[in-house]
Structure 1
Amino acid sequence: MLRAGCATIVPRRSSVRGMESGCWLVTLPATDGRLYVYRVYAPADALPADLFWDAWHCHDEGPFPRAPDLFDAAVIRRVGRAPR
C-alpha cells in the first residue's frame, strides 16, 4: 500500500510556475513494511540528495511510522513533461 505526501523545493531564483511541467516522486520505505511516496516540486536539475531530504523531513514530521534516513533506500523519479 502506498501513502502520499507532498513537499516543495523552490530555489531562490526559480518560481513554482516554472516547475508546473513536472515533479519528482520520492519513495521511502518505512519500518511498517510500506512504501510512502512523496511528490516533490523541484526543478529538473535538482540534486537527488535535496529531493531525498525534503521528502524524508516531510515524512518524519508526519504521523507515519519511522523511515530510515538512508539515501540508498529511496527511489527517486522525475515525472511529468520535460521542460522545453
Structure 2
Amino acid sequence: MALPAVDGRQYVYRVDAPAEALLADLFWDAWHCHDESAFPRAWDVFDAAVIRRVD
C-alpha cells in the first residue's frame, strides 16, 4: 500500500491480512504504522492511497 505524505513522497507499506479484509482496514493499518514513524505526516484520505493485493 502506498500512502502519499505532506512532503510530496509516497511511502509504501506491506500489510499482512486475510483475503476477506476490508480495504479500509488495510488503509488504517498502514496509516497508523506511518503515523507512528518519524516520516512526515501521511494524508489520511482513503482515496489517496494506492492499494494492491499481492498473492
Q: 1:45 & 1:28 partners in 2: Cα distance?
A: 21
The answer as to 2:18 corresponding to 1:43 is yes
Task: State the partner residue of 1:70.
Answer: 45
Q: 2:44 & 2:8 partners in 1: Cα distance?
A: 15
SS of aligned partner of 1:75 = coil
- Structure number with the higher helix fraction is 2
The answer as to 2:4 corresponding to 1:60 is no
Q: Any gaps of 5 or more consecutive residues in structure 2?
A: none
Q: How high is the sequence identity, in percent, across the aligned residues?
A: 78
Aligned residues, how many? 55
Shift of 1:68: 1.2
The TM-score, its normalising length taken from structure 1, stands at 0.64
